[in-house]
Amino acid sequence: MGVFGNVREDGLNQPAPAVVYWPMVDQRSASRNMAYLVRSDRVGTPGFLRELQQAVWSINPNLPLGKVQTLSEIEAHSMAQTSFAMVMLAIAATVALLLALVGVYGVVSYIAAERTYEVGIRMALGAQSGDVRALFLRHGLALTLAGLVLGTGAAMLVTPIMSTLLYGVAPTDPVTYAGVAIILAAVTLLATYLPARRASRVEPIIALRSQ
């Protein structure tokens, strides 16, 4: 008799059920299906499966050998549905990120075009190109920070609902949130910088004539 660690009989994404192991002392309680775990450094090498078959058949040539799987194959099968959902979510997230990039770029470009006359006055009064870029970048950074705060709060409310799709990652994993925030901030600032740089290169006289 003894106590074993948790065994995930229903897959890696499901909690471990309560399992009791009985010794095979009574043939009436024995199952016709037996499962064995073989640990070897030669798993996956040519001829290894054949050697296992020969070892079983040397004891009883009438015993079939079926459903031979490596541990990685068992893990992949148990996580197939979760992996598919994660791939779909990754595709949706990538599309959303590209749309956000295009959207921010379009908005900032529109703002820069609307403020062309203002930019011309600033540059005529001595403002440098770096000052103009910083003007738009500060505006974009403020919007980015506000979006990250709101988005992080919304994600912390929604993520626990998706906890069944998570394995090895907590719904409020700080590393994940920090990584996503850095990526979103970088994309947003890039989308802000491009029209800001274009606006800073406009000649003051041309900007003043745009009014």
Chain centroid to CA 208: how far? 48
| Secondary structure of residue 155 in the 3-state scheme | helix
Chain centroid to CA 48: how far? 36
| Secondary structure of residue 79 in the 3-state scheme | coil
Q: What is the dihedral of CA 3, 14, 8, 75, to 10 degrees?
A: -160
Residues 6+ apart with CB under 8 A from 181: 148, 152
pTM: 0.57
Per-residue confidence in pLDDT tens, the chain, 211 aa: 567 777 777 766 677 778 777 766 555 555 566 777 888 888 777 788 888 888 888 888 887 777 788 878 877 787 777 778 778 888 988 898 888 888 878 877 787 777 777 777 777 777 787 787 888 888 778 888 888 888 888 887 877 776 666 666 666 778 878 888 888 888 888 888 887 777 777 766 665 565 5
- Of the chain, the end-to-end C-alpha distance in Å amounts to 89
Alpha-carbon distances of 162 from 12, 85, 86, rounded to whole Å:
16, 11, 11
